[in-house]
Amino acid sequence: MEIEHYPDGNIPTHLLDWVWETGPVLSPLVKYRTSGAAILRDGGGTELLLAERPWDGQYLVATLLPSPDHLHVIGAGPRTVAAPTARAVAAEVRSRLLPEFEQLVNLARLREVQEDLDWLRNDVEPGTVPYPYPADLDAALERFLTHAPYLIAASRCAGAKPLAEQDARVLALFETLLASLTQSSDDAGSGLEPGGTDEAMAVWLESGEALVAVVRSATVASSQGPSRPTVSTSTPPKPPAAAAATGRTR
């Protein structure tokens, strides 16, 4: 866990641009000096903004957007959680905020994979994939290989629908492929060997749609989006004159 602390109580205005869903809960905080604020990072790409609301002492936690270098997300993000104590807000984060975040991130991963497969179906004739592979095709394969482990894990997690035998075979096919690529990459030092790329390309082109269908079926509840409980915004008092805070860029 990494913590980036803002001890002076000023949340940099630019930082709220990275909050997935600011809304009326967090947006007033730029006008106030809080007792403290921090960014919490788990090292795996999840970043949370923690702040204490100065006029009623409520603890607020919101998720930051995933890095656009790794994933492009659209639409509303997980709803900010609020609670009167640190213990209570931690329970809300575990039970609601992080599961919502994981659901929405996986939906974004699934959308990117589907968009690439749609592009392939519309722009690339079956059996006519050029070699060496063009840059856009290589990039699409790389995106798929980045997202696939997370999508497979979501399909096997507790709460996912039981897998039919055929669906289990599809997941096993890609799990075997990913394990093989990881081993080949380790043996080569870094990157994929040409043979590994060819195998990955062939499996992706032939069975990528089947994997998307399995993931959608197994995570059908997630695909409908998480519930959106109301969070009390609390009416703030008139803000004091506040000095501008520069803060660090993300």
Q: Is the peptide bond before 229 cis (omega within 30 degrees of 0)?
A: no
Residue 241 pLDDT: 47
SS3 143: helix
Nearest to 249 by CA among 3, 20, 4, 72: 4
Predicted confidence band of residue 228 (pLDDT cuts 50, 70, 90): very low
Mean pLDDT of the chain: 82
Tell me the per-residue pLDDT of 57-69, one tens digit each, with 9 for 90 and over: 899 999 999 987 7
Q: What is residue 248's predicted lDDT score, i.e. its pLDDT?
A: 40
Separation of alpha carbons 149 and 124, rounded Å: 25
What tens digit of pLDDT does each residue of 155-196 get? Answer: 998 777 889 999 999 999 999 999 999 877 665 555 555 557
Is the pLDDT assigned to residue 242 strictly greater than 70? no
Cα separation, 113 vs 119, in Å, equals: 10
Rounded average pLDDT over 198-206 = 93
> CA-CA distance, 160 to 3, in Å (whole number)?
32
pLDDT tens for 15-33 read 788 899 867 777 777 777 7
* Whether the predicted pLDDT of 154 surpasses 70: yes
Residue, of 27 and 133, whose pLDDT is higher: 133
Residue found under tokens 């968009």: 115
pLDDT band at 124 (very low <50, low <70, confident <90, very high): confident
